[in-house]
Structure 1
Amino acid sequence: MKSGYTLPVFAIAAAKAAIITLQNLRKSQVLESITSVEMDLLEAGHGHIPIAQVAIIDYQINQQTALAIALSDPGDNLDLTAGMPIWAWVSLEAHGLADEILSPNSISISERLILEGGEGLGKSVDGKPAIYQLAQNLAQANLLPLLSPELLSPELPNQLARVRFILPEGRALAKRTSNAAFGILEGLSLLGTSAISQPLSVEDKLEEFRTDLRDKATDTQAIAFYIGANGYQVAQGLGFSDRQLVQTANWIGAMLIEAALLGIKEITLIGYHGKLLKLAGGIFNTSSHLADARIDILVRAAVHQNLPMELIQKIERSPTAEAVHNLLVANNSDQPVFAHITDQINQRAIAYIQKYSDRQVAVKTILCDRLGKLVLG
């Protein structure tokens, strides 16, 4: 099976192609055709990334702009982004042309480099562009060296590179993912733990999470399991360190047992309520392909809290857990219902661990909505 690269690699490669094209034009006054760029892939070494197109948009003394396009190639992975175009619009401009204060949709890499989110690139709950650490690290390694003083235009001694990433298909493709449930809104994200996209089977992915857990269990007895990017952001906001955070995806039951056998004494479950509430019904693999009793679990919790029958019937007719949450909030009933569900998750998880590992582990659950807001306040 063929490996490929993650989205941040193609985004930064397109930006690199645009900057090089502008610099080459300044040097020779001849537009050179760039078909690939060499990339520093950090811990993954180096690689040549194909470039589909590069075009000069404008070329003036105090501002020069270009657009480059790369096509996503994740290798032999079942990935919606395969073949997706990633545009990088680059403006080399004098510092005076840049906004003194960064817009909410910008990230400053240095005084010479700003990354921006354009159409199709998602935003986090706080409005920041979904350009995460790997993309920022790749930008530092591949773009900043091109902006060193000796390579800058003499007409622009205080040159700034403004890079805007545009994913024309991003908004449409995001609707086919669970991004919104995990706090990435209006598009896709430049997210990844490695530049290389390795094709992994389901079993391989679980083993990857178990390996991460084994590593982190060597220096802590308190672990936080999170589901998705939203759960990760919430966990960081709550003060958990990266050495405590372990992803589980749908394999919560298997990871709970693994943690107990490794000697973990405290586990905090953090994530979207529409996923984690399944544990309150004894469902420890949260894949919807295996079981989905979320509405039934919510109805049972509503009955337990003695909510009015009319409201319970509305819950039963609701299409999603998110719709139920909104309904409960509107009726000032969300806090008691989700407090009961959280308590049930804790009790079920503790019993599950005891049954399959014969270990005692303290379990705490923190639920958030799809925007990353804590459900219990």
Structure 2
Amino acid sequence: MTKPRAGYTLPVFACASAIAALQHLQNNQNNETVSFDLIEPSETVTIPIQQVAKINKNTALAITISDPGDNLDLTRNTPIWATVELRENSDKNEQEQIIIKGGEGIGKQIKSNNKDAIYSYANKLLKHNLKQYLNPTEAIIITIILPEGKKLAKRTSNEAFGVIEGLSLLGTSGISQPLSSPDQLNSYQQELKEKAKQFDTLVFCLGENGLDLARKSGINSQQLIKTANWLGPLLVTAATEKINAILLFGYHGKLIKLAGGIFHTHHHLADGRLEILVSHGVKMGLDNAILQQLLDCETTEEALQLLRKIDAETNNTFTEKIYQSIVETIDKRTQLYIRKYVDFDVNIGSIVFGRDRTIIMSSKTGKNLQQQLTTQHE
């Protein structure tokens, strides 16, 4: 088996586009590639340039194409545009020499006054690499554009975590590791085996938001395992290593898949989230009209808000009943999944949280495990 190929994160392609646009403005270069420092890690990378052109005397546009490597990544082959406007830096103010903006397809952070979702690594990467091309009397405004950003964002959980209208230029590194590859699974399994030597209870977190929330809830960070989408194989590994209990801690729009027997949670492989939620609505006796409205929702977050709205208007507790049913089903389906592969009983508990990063529901076992974990860490 060939080793999975790493690629690059979106900030890298944004930086490459910006460099190509600036070089075209300064000396009319039409570079087929640009090379620059990734900073994290400290290495030089060469990125192909798809197109570059002047918009007017002081502004140029360049385009790169995203390549995340051997990753099931929805941004694969996405065009990343950067326009660079060259201006005079009359005050020779370093703070104002490079201004970075988000254009079409770059998300807005609703919890930060709709600030562009261009995070620290992207800002650092752009400023570090563009500054060397400028003399003190020059200033630039860089605008990053993702023409497909709004459309692609609908297929992510961005909105659930406060980013709307597009994608984020996120990441702490320029390298896009193949998280969905067997090589990455092996890395997670090795981490789990090491932690199994110290603990008999672990907490499985699907992503960074789950990890962060679990830490803030008082759980020992040494007992946290990031699973990405590899829940199934990691559950089996945990049972093989004789882990007695696992707390599943995740965003409801991901963890709900386990209630439907889906144990590899990447959207490229399987979905069914709304169908699972609606089936529990049927179980709880919701009217057909409400069930149809739930099926018409675009996301599970939208369905959750609809349920809460119906509860408020009708003085019902459908949300609580449905989600209690979902988390208890997650526990049962997960135990059955493990028993298919390993003759060992693992105590499973589940906690799901929503867009506002507050817990929606805990299973009975999930609540008990959380109490034990936080008490032990006090």
Q: TM-score, normalised by structure 2?
A: 0.67
Q: Distance in 1 between matches of 2:201 and 2:166?
A: 34
Over 3 Å counting, the alpha-carbon distance change for 1:78 and 1:32 in structure 2 is same
Q: Deviation per CA, 1:128-153: give whole Å up to 9, x if none.
A: 43334553453365245x27xxx533
1:53 aligned partner, one-letter code: V
Shift of 1:314: 3.7
Asked if 1:46 corresponds to 2:44, the answer is yes
List runs of 5+ in structure 1 lacking aligned partners.
Answer: 60-64, 99-108
- Residue 130 of structure 1 is matched in structure 2 by 117
Contact conserved, 2:253 with 2:273, CA < 8 A, in 1?
A: no
CA RMSD of aligned residues (A): 4.6
Shift of 1:40: 1.5
List runs of 5+ in structure 2 lacking aligned partners.
Answer: 312-316, 363-378
Contact conserved, 2:280 with 2:325, CA < 8 A, in 1?
A: no
Q: Distance in 1 between matches of 2:224 and 2:18?
A: 32
Q: Distance in 2 between matches of 1:56 and 1:261?
A: 61
Q: Distance in 2 between matches of 1:50 and 1:78?
A: 21
Tell me the secondary structure at the aligned position of residue 375 of structure 1: strand
Contact conserved, 2:72 with 2:180, CA < 8 A, in 1?
A: no
Task: Write the mapping of 1:237-276 to structure 2, written as runs, cut at 5 A.
Answer: 246-261=225-240, 267-276=246-255
Tell me the secondary structure at the aligned position of residue 164 of structure 2: coil
1:38 aligned partner, one-letter code: S
Q: Distance in 1 between matches of 2:336 and 2:72?
A: 36
Tell me the secondary structure at the aligned position of residue 165 of structure 2: coil
Shift of 1:87: 1.8
- Residue 135 of structure 2 is matched in structure 1 by 152
Task: Write the mapping of 1:1-377 to structure 2, written as runs, cut at 5 A.
Answer: 4-20=7-23, 25=26, 30-41=27-38, 42-43=40-41, 45-51=43-49, 52-55=51-54, 57=56, 59=58, 65-74=59-68, 81-91=75-85, 94=89, 113-124=98-109, 126=111, 127-132=114-119, 134-139=121-126, 141-144=128-131, 146=132, 152-153=135-136, 155=137, 161-175=140-154, 177-180=155-158, 183=161, 184-192=163-171, 194-197=173-176, 203-211=182-190, 213-214=192-193, 224-227=203-206, 231=210, 246-261=225-240, 267-280=246-259, 283-286=262-265, 292=272, 295=275, 298-300=278-280, 303=283, 309=285, 311-317=286-292, 318-319=294-295, 321-322=300-301, 324-332=303-311, 333=317, 334-346=319-331, 349=334, 356=342, 358=344, 360=346, 363-369=349-355, 374-376=359-361
Q: Distance in 1 between matches of 2:19 and 2:108?
A: 23
Contact conserved, 1:34 with 1:54, CA < 8 A, in 2?
A: no
2:80 aligned partner, one-letter code: I
Over 3 Å counting, the alpha-carbon distance change for 1:186 and 1:278 in structure 2 is same
Q: Distance in 1 between matches of 2:88 and 2:216?
A: 36
1:178 aligned partner, one-letter code: T
1:5 aligned partner, one-letter code: Y
Q: Distance in 2 between matches of 1:33 and 1:336?
A: 61
Shift of 1:39: 1.6
Q: Distance in 1 between matches of 2:23 and 2:327?
A: 54
Over 3 Å counting, the alpha-carbon distance change for 1:71 and 1:202 in structure 2 is closer
Over 3 Å counting, the alpha-carbon distance change for 1:367 and 1:353 in structure 2 is farther
Q: Deviation per CA, 1:197-218: give whole Å up to 9, x if none.
A: 5678754453354355457768
1:358 aligned partner, one-letter code: F
Q: Deviation per CA, 1:227-257: give whole Å up to 9, x if none.
A: 3566567557757798766443443232233
Shift of 1:37: 1.9
Over 3 Å counting, the alpha-carbon distance change for 1:80 and 1:362 in structure 2 is closer
Over 3 Å counting, the alpha-carbon distance change for 1:331 and 1:11 in structure 2 is same
Q: Distance in 2 between matches of 1:326 and 1:219?
A: 40
- Report sequence identity in percent: 38
Shift of 1:78: 6.5
1:275 aligned partner, one-letter code: K
Contact conserved, 2:256 with 2:276, CA < 8 A, in 1?
A: no
Q: Distance in 1 between matches of 2:177 and 2:348?
A: 35
Contact conserved, 1:182 with 1:229, CA < 8 A, in 2?
A: no
